[in-house]
């Protein structure tokens, strides 16, 4: 049983999702959106840190995966996103788990088969792959997608190891 | 006795400095530069978090002050700096101390009297005000300057309170 936490960080909404690979298939254990609301900016970072830290303690995933960010042209939003992502990563580092990072295109490719699929397609595939009764909210869907992407990469590397052994 | 930790965050070098206001004047208890070297970027964030967390536990400052950052035109460096600053702030939030933030100009104004003093003048004033035997390294000097700026603001607000009481 392999448990993977996926994180899609943002300063306003941070998506998180936990999947578990079981004998019968891959199941979603939990997903949510950490909303930092109107809190003072530093307090928002504290909320992201605490919530992710608590998730790590509660679910003890063997793997964690975070969405890589694009450097966009807006330096101010990059600075804010950097703070949020730094807070999330610090929370993950509190457990001794390697952090995998995947670009949005790698995530899309793993789930939909092409790097430029739109978000709705990704969310749809997340729902199908995990057999969810309804579409998760956008940020949580992205987080689950990152976790599924990590699972895909992990299984591929396992197969490569077995083939070369 | 009031103890203040000043932090000047950066993804490569993070300056830290601790001052203590004593009956005989303000003294520097410690300063250093947290160098994250060539480590993997996420590990660097972990180093910043751990070192600041340890400083907080060792010195238990009553106040902490962090340099505010300018949004510059470089989105990539803003993103990196954001991560580092987010890590530093998360470490500070582990203790229940309010985080004060000051712009570089506010720090310069508090120490040198003008908002556009150069870094060498600020470092010189840090040395004079704290009676240091030599100039601290640039990042540590900036961190001590932020702590001194916070002390200045704190004393001013105390005086205002006393005057209105």
Residue A25 belongs to domain with CATH number: 3.30.420.10
Interface contact A42-B89, CB threshold 8 A:
yes
pLDDT score of B142: 96
Enter the pTM of the model: 0.91
Q: How many structural domains are present in chain B?
A: 1
Task: Please check the confidence at residue A29 and state whether its pLDDT lies above 80.
Answer: yes
Interface contact B87-A85, CB threshold 8 A:
no
Q: Which of B86, B100, B103 to mutate to test the interface with A (most CBs of A within 10 A)?
A: B86
B40 catalytic? Reply is: no
Give mean pLDDT, residues A10-16.
Answer: 94
For residues B43 and B84, is the Cβ–Cβ distance under 8 A?
Answer: no
**Catalytic entry in B20, B67, B142, B150:** B67
Neighbour count for residue A133 (Cβ, 10 Å) = 5
Q: How far is residue A143's CA from residue B65's CA, in Å, rounded to a whole number?
A: 34
Residue A143: which residues within 8 A CB-CB, separation 6 or more? A6, A7, A8, A15, A16, A17, A31, A67
CA distance A14 to chain B (A): 14
For residues A11 and A46, is the Cβ–Cβ distance under 8 A?
Answer: no
Mean residue pLDDT across chain A: 93
Q: Which of A45, A89, A93 faces B93 most closely, judged by CB atoms? A: A45
Interval B19-66: pLDDT, tens? 999 988 999 999 999 999 888 999 999 999 999 999 999 999 999 999
Q: What is the DSSP letter of A114?
A: S
Interface contact B78-A76, CB threshold 8 A:
yes
Q: Strand, helix or coil at A86?
A: helix
Residues spanned by the domain of B63: 2-164
CA distance A49 to chain B (A): 7
> B4 in contact with A at a CB cutoff of 8 Å?
no
Which residues of chain B are under the pLDDT cut of 50? none
Q: Strand, helix or coil at B99?
A: strand
Sort out which chain B residues have CB atoms less than 8 A from A97's CB and list them.
Answer: none
B50 catalytic? Reply is: no
Catalytic residue set of A: 8, 67, 139
Q: Which chain B residues in 97-156 lie under 8 Å from chain A, judged by CB atoms?
A: 99
Beta bridge partners of B41: none
pLDDT score of A119: 87
The helix (H) or strand (E) run that includes residue A4 is strand A2-8
Task: Please check the confidence at residue A1 and state whether its pLDDT lies above 90.
Answer: no
pLDDT score of A111: 93
Q: Which residues of A25-43 are buried (b: 16+ CB within 10 A; e: fewer)?
A: ebebeebbbbebeeeeebe
pLDDT score of B116: 80
Phi, psi of B39, rounded to the nearest 5 degrees: -60, 160
> A86 in contact with B at a CB cutoff of 8 Å?
yes
Give mean pLDDT, residues A13-34.
Answer: 96
Residue of chain B minimizing CA distance to A49 = B90
Question: How many Å is the maximal CA-CA distance in chain B?
Answer: 54
pLDDT score of A39: 85
Q: How far is residue B84's CA from residue B72's CA, in Å, rounded to a whole number?
A: 16
pLDDT score of A37: 82
CA distance A80 to chain B (A): 6
> A56 in contact with B at a CB cutoff of 8 Å?
no
CA distance A131 to chain B (A): 33
pLDDT score of B75: 86
Task: Please check the confidence at residue A62 and state whether its pLDDT lies above 90.
Answer: yes
Interface contact A78-B83, CB threshold 8 A:
no
Q: By C-alpha distance, which of A16, A26, A100, A88 is closest to A59?
A: A16
Interface contact B90-A85, CB threshold 8 A:
no
């Amino acid at each position: 049983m392999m448990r993977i936490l996926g994180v899609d960080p943002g300063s306003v909404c941070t998506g998180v999702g936990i999947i578990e690979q079981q004998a019968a298939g891959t199941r979603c254990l939990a997903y949510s959106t950490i909303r930092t609301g109107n809190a003072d900016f530093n307090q928002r970072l504290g909320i992201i840190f605490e919530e992710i830290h608590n998730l790590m303690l509660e679910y003890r995933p063997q793997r964690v995966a975070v969405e890589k960010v694009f450097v966009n042209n807006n330096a101010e939003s990059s600075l804010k996103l950097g703070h949020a992502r730094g807070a999330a990563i610090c929370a993950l580092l509190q457990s001794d788990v390697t952090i995998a990072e995947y670009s949005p295109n790698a995530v899309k490719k793993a789930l939909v088969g092409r790097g430029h699929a739109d978000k709705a397609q990704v969310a749809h595939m997340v729902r199908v792959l995990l057999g969810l009764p309804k579409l998760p909210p956008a940020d949580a869907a992205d987080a689950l997608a990152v976790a599924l992407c990590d699972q895909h990469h992990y299984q591929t590397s396992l197969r490569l190891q077995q083939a070369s052994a």
